[in-house]
Structure 1
Amino acid sequence: MGIRPTSEKFPLLLVLNPNAGKKTGQDQLTKIIQPALNKAGIPFRLVETTAKGFAQTYFKENIQQILVDLVQSIAVPEQQEGGGGGDGAGTTATTTTTTGPPEIVLKIMVVGGDGTTHEVINGVLQGIHGSDSTSSFVNDNFRPKIQLSIIPTGTGNAIATSQGVTTTQAALDRFLAGKSVPLRVVQVSQRDKSHTNDNSSNDITHGVWKPLVYTAVVNSLGLHCSTVFDAEGYRSLGNTRFKVSALKNIVFLKQYQARVDLFGPVQKYDRSLNQLVASDNTTITTTTTTSQEHPSTTLLGPFTYLMLTKQSSLEPGFVPTPFANTSDEWLDILAVQNVGRGQILEILGDATKEGRHVQQHEKVEYFKAKVVEIETPTKGRLCVDGEFLDVAAGSEGRVRFEVISDPNIQLFHLIV
Structure 2
Amino acid sequence: MIDISPTENVFTCSASFKDPSTLYPTTLELSSHQLLWSARHPTKDNHTIQVPYCCIYGYEAPTPAGLDVNHQDLKDIVQNTCRDRMIKVHFVEFLFSDLKAVSSPQCTTAYFLFERRADVQRFLNLAHQLGVFPRPRRILALVNPNGGVGKAKTINDTVVQPMLEHSGLDVKVQYTEYSKHGIDVAHKIDLKEVDTLAVVSGDGLLHEIVNGLLSRSDWDHARRLPIAIIPAGSGNATATSIGIRSPIVATLALIRGDTVKLDIFSLSQLDRPRIYSMLMFSWGMMADADIESDIYRWLGPLRFEIAGFIRLIRLRRYPGKVYFLPPHHKAKPSPASTLDSSRNSSHKQDAPVVQYGHLLKDIHHKPPEPWSLLPNMPFYTMLLLLNFPSAGETIYFTDSIRFNDGVMKLWYSCETRFWKIILPFVLDLTNGKLVERDLMQNKDCGGLLIIPGVEGKPNDKTTHEVVDHEQVRSESAKKLGIYQKPGIFDVDGEVMPTARTLIEVLPSFMDITIPEWFYHEKDVDRERTALAKLKTELIKEASKRQHPQQRTDGHNQVREVFLVLFTLVTVVTAYALFFNEEHRARERMAQQI
Same fold (TM over 0.5): yes
3-state SS in 2 of match to 1:146: coil
Q: CA deviation at 1:362?
A: 1.9
1:260 aligns with 2:322: yes
Q: Cα RMSD between the aligned structures?
A: 2.4
Give distance in 1, aligned partners of 2:490 and 2:234: 16
Stretches (4+) displaced over 4 A: 7-10, 288-292
Stretches of structure 2 that go unaligned for 5 or more consecutive residues are 1-133, 334-355, 357-366, 456-485, 516-593
Structure 2 CA distance for partners of 1:301 and 1:218, relative to 1, 3 Å: farther
Give distance in 2, aligned partners of 1:10 and 1:165: 21
3-state SS in 2 of match to 1:145: coil
Structure 2 CA distance for partners of 1:227 and 1:189, relative to 1, 3 Å: same
TM value normalised by structure 1: 0.71
3-state SS in 1 of match to 2:421: helix
Structure 2 CA distance for partners of 1:119 and 1:143, relative to 1, 3 Å: closer
Deviations 1:252-303 (A, max 9, x none): 11121121110133xxxxxxxxxxxxxxxxxxx6325677723234242421
Deviations 1:293-325 (A, max 9, x none): 232342424211210110111123422243221
Give distance in 1, aligned partners of 2:223 and 2:452: 39
> Is this contact kept in 1: 2:147–2:233, CA < 8 A?
yes
Other-structure match for 1:324: 401
> Is this contact kept in 2: 1:147–1:415, CA < 8 A?
no
3-state SS in 1 of match to 2:150: coil
1:10-409 superposed matches below 5 A:
11-60=138-187, 62-63=188-189, 66-69=190-193, 106-126=195-215, 128-129=216-217, 137=218, 145-192=224-271, 212-265=274-327, 286-288=329-331, 293-294=368-369, 295-299=371-375, 300-359=377-436, 361-379=437-455, 380=486, 381-391=488-498, 397-405=499-507
> Is this contact kept in 2: 1:107–1:146, CA < 8 A?
yes
Q: CA deviation at 1:170?
A: 1.4
> Is this contact kept in 2: 1:14–1:110, CA < 8 A?
yes
Q: CA deviation at 1:18?
A: 1.0
> Is this contact kept in 1: 2:235–2:300, CA < 8 A?
no
- Structure in which a larger fraction of residues adopt helix: 2
Deviations 1:4-38 (A, max 9, x none): xxx96653010101111221111111111111111
> Is this contact kept in 2: 1:288–1:370, CA < 8 A?
no
3-state SS in 2 of match to 1:257: strand
Range with greater deviation from structure 2 (289-298 or 225-234)? 289-298
Q: CA deviation at 1:353?
A: 4.7
Give distance in 1, aligned partners of 2:332 and 2:167: 45
Range with greater deviation from structure 2 (295-304 or 165-174)? 295-304
Corresponding pairs, count: 317
Letter in 2 for 1:363: L
3-state SS in 1 of match to 2:266: strand
Structure 2 CA distance for partners of 1:243 and 1:351, relative to 1, 3 Å: same
Give distance in 2, aligned partners of 1:260 and 1:320: 22
> Is this contact kept in 1: 2:387–2:409, CA < 8 A?
yes
Q: CA deviation at 1:239?
A: 2.2
TM value normalised by structure 2: 0.50
> Is this contact kept in 2: 1:317–1:353, CA < 8 A?
yes
Give distance in 2, aligned partners of 1:365 and 1:251: 21
> Is this contact kept in 2: 1:317–1:354, CA < 8 A?
no
Stretches of structure 1 that go unaligned for 5 or more consecutive residues are 1-6, 71-105, 130-136, 193-209, 266-284, 392-396
Structure 2 CA distance for partners of 1:414 and 1:403, relative to 1, 3 Å: farther
> Is this contact kept in 2: 1:264–1:287, CA < 8 A?
no
Q: CA deviation at 1:124?
A: 1.3
Structure with max Cα Rg: 2
Q: CA deviation at 1:370?
A: 1.1
Other-structure match for 1:202: none
